[in-house]
Each structure stands twice: as C-alpha cells, then as structure tokens.
Amino acid sequence: MRRRTLLQNAGVSIALPFLPSFLSPRTAEAVPSETARPDSKMVCIGNMLGFYPPAFWPDAPNAESQSGLAITRDFQLGRTTAPLDAVREKVSILQGLDHGTKGGHFAIHSFLSGVRQIDAKSMPEGNVTIDQYAAETVAGQTRFPCLNIGSEDGIHGGCQISWTRTGTRVPPVPGPEQLFKLLFVKTASADRDAALDRFRLQGSILDAVNDQAHSFERRLNPLDRHKLDEYLTSVRDVEKRLALRRNWIDVPKPDAPFPAPKNKNMVEDLPLLYDLILLALQTDSTRIATLEIGGDFNPRDLGVNGGYHALSHHGQLEDRIEALITLETYQVEQFVRFVSKLSEQENEHGRLLDQTMVLFGSGMGNANSHTNTSLPVVLAGGGFEHGRLLKFDEKDQHRPPLTNLFVSMLQNFGIETDHFATSTGTLRGLA
C-alpha cells in the first residue's frame, strides 16, 4: 500500500493519513489538543524591507551574556525605535534571531512560517504561518478566523506574509475601504445565497468522503482502523467548523462607528488600518489579524524623495539612509500608537493588550545586503514580561530559531503544542 492513499469520489480527492500497521506494528501517535483560550488574540505586522540595523537595534553596553543570551532592561533605543519609549514597559525587543534562511527578497515570506515555500515540501505542515495555524483552532468562533490586511503591490509581490498549510498564499484585504466593508457593511441577499450554496457544496463533499472512508475501513486491521478513526474525527471537526461558519451568515454585523472610508495610499491609510484592526478585536469579529507593509509604502507621502525599495538599497549614502530612517520611524510610530490604544481599551476579560500578542518585524534583516539574518522583532502584550531586550549571540551554535518564539506564542494563545516548523522548543528568556 502507498504511504498516502486517496479517497476519491465525484471528482474529489482527499489524502488519507499514514496507516502504520502496513509497515510495522507500532502504536498510532496521539493528536495534540488544540483549543485556544476564548480571550486570546494575536496580531502580526511585517514589512518587506526590514529596518536599517544601526538605527533599529538598541545599545546595551552593560548587558552580560549567559549561555548565549543577554537579558537587560538597561538599554538605549535606536533612532528608528526611539518611539518605543512611550510603550517601553509593554514591549520586548528580540535581537539575534532568524530562521536560518537565505534568499533576500525571496525569503521574506518565511517571516511568520520559518520555512521558504521552495522548502515547504520537506516539512510536515508545509510553510503554514503562525496566524493560519492559530486560526484553524478558532474557526467558527468569530466571523473571521483571521483577517489578513495589506497590499498586493510592491516588489516581488509584497510581503506575502500569510500562508496556509497547503502552500497557498492568503491574499490580503487591500485597503481600509474593503476592510470596513467586511467588518460593518451588511451582506447583500445574492451574496448571502451564494455563500449558502458554497457551504452546501462543501458539506456534500465531506459526506461523500465519509461514506467511502467507512467502506474502505473494512479492509483494515484494528490498528489501522484506530488511525482511520482519528482521521475521520478530524473530518467531523471540519464539518463542525463549517456549521459554525454557516451560522455567521445570519448574525448581524456590528454598527459602523464612522462613515465608510476611501483608500488613499499606504502611508495615509496605515493609522486607519490599525484602527480597523482594533475595532475588529473589540467587536470580536476576529481574534487574529496580520498586516503587511509592502513596496507601495511611498516615502513621498512623508516628504521623502525616492522609492521605498530603492532607499532600502542605500549603498551607505547618508541622504538615502536618513530618508529610510524617516519612513521606518513612521512605521514604528504607528505600531506604538496601536499598542497604546490596545492598552487603553478593556473588555469583560480585562485590558485588551494583556489578551493580545502583537508581533512587529520583518523577514528581511538587512535589505541593503539582501540578508535574512538577525531579523528585527518586537513583541508587545499578551501577558508576557516586557520592558526588556533579549539579545541572542548570533555566533552561538545553540542559538534558538525564531520559530521557538512562535511556539511560545501559540502556547500563550492556548494551543497545546510543543513544536512549530523548525522549532526546538519554546523561546528561553521569554516570561
């Protein structure tokens, strides 16, 4: 028997799990429980060109390293990160971590997955990103399992920040006008009927697969039946999630807090996009969101000449570096504004920032040299201990991968897992 066997019916093919007893008599592996806490939220923000390292990283001359990690509260923020001082006790800066990937622009999409798409076939879960991994556990609990926001424009297709486990890029909602419509504008009758038809089709496909799977079951020995039962349980979980998502069609959307906006440009739209993400979290329309800042982040809208991508390849020219610092500082300022607003808002579970992990950074370490090492990473909220710089020694052979941070975040989200992509455990030093 082939390692992967297909159920096929009515033109539909779905892969069965590995049935181990056909190869050796060993016990089937247990499936970890994955249930998110009802108050957990996650927002991930990434840009496609990183940050100019000398202006981003803090100065911490007195930090003492132990086993390749220095943790200190005594540090001076860089020029680009100076706005973080307003939320200093609410954020942690993580220095010296990356995914060990190479490829410059062609590796930035691994920021939230740890895996380049070209390498995804060798990974059990492909290059699924942390947002989509978490969204699988909350499907049906909110109107949108995950909101992916940003722009399709930019060099090499933008950040490409979010990917499913099947290796498909999740296209972002391209601006505040479209995001506002999703959150607050009622669904037209024709669109509602089309959505119902899609749910009915998906349900019939699962019914067909279930029927053939039970027929196939008679050919298996007891150990394989146990494994197949685990698989059918996961199919039933999908059915339940579809039913939960179907229920949202008839649930009214929240009232709009202000008139519908129009798209302008990424620079002017950025504060509004953050505000709409905040509203999505407040109204429990979603608990997970991503925001990608692509090449259409036009510095001319900040009074700077030149294109974003061209400035990132500054060639050590001082005027270009100054222009780059201006637009990167603006990105940090808007992140700080978002964190501050989360800190000011409360719901029945307490302060919104304490419930919301906010990851800010890039899959590019240094755009000028096309490197993906020592990625810029800031983590806010989520109930972690903050106000600290965690500086990992890039030369330490035991330095953890950035994906260890993602394991810690997923556990904080309430998911019982001890691995993600290339991780080796949780991230030490993060408390």
Go through the domains of the chain in sequence order and give each one's CATH number. 1-30+188-251 (no CATH), 39-186+257-413 (3.40.720)
Least confident of 182-191, 241-250, 353-362: 241-250
Q: Is 323 helix (H, G, I), strand (E, B) or coil?
A: helix
**Phi, then psi, of 380 in degrees rounded to 5:** -125, 155
Task: Tell me which amino acid residue 14 is.
Answer: I
Six-digit token string for 172: 């972002």
User: Taking a C-beta distance cutoff of 8 angstroms, is the pair 359, 43 a contact?
Assistant: yes
pLDDT at 224 over 80: no
CB of 365 closer than 8 Å to CB of 110: no
Distance CA 104, CA 173 (A): 25
pLDDT tens-digit map of 92-128 = 999 999 999 999 999 999 999 999 999 998 898 899 9
Assess whether pLDDT exceeds 50 at residue 24: no
The band of 154, judged by pLDDT with boundaries at 50, 70 and 90, is very low
What are the beta bridge partners of residue 66? Answer: 69
Determine the pLDDT at residue 2. 38
Report phi then psi at 114, rounded to 5.
80, 0
Residue 254 has pLDDT above 60, yes or no: yes
**Which distant-in-sequence residues (6+ apart) come within 8 Å of 257 by Cβ?**
279
Residue 88, both tokens: 């200093």
Distance CA 403, CA 414 (A): 17
Residue 369 and residue 47: Cα distance in Å, rounded?
16
Question: Using 50, 70 and 90 to split pLDDT, how confident is the model at 39?
Answer: confident
Tell me the pLDDT tens digit for each residue of 330-388.
Answer: 999 999 999 999 999 999 999 999 999 999 999 999 999 999 999 999 999 999 999 99
Question: Does the structure show a pLDDT above 50 at 33?
Answer: no
Q: Note the pLDDT of residue 157.
A: 53
| pLDDT band at residue 206 under the 50/70/90 scheme | low
Q: In 235-353, where do the E strands start and end? A: 288-293, 346-347, 350-351
pLDDT surpassing 50 at residue 11: no
129 token code pair = 């990103």
What count of residues does the chain have? Answer: 431
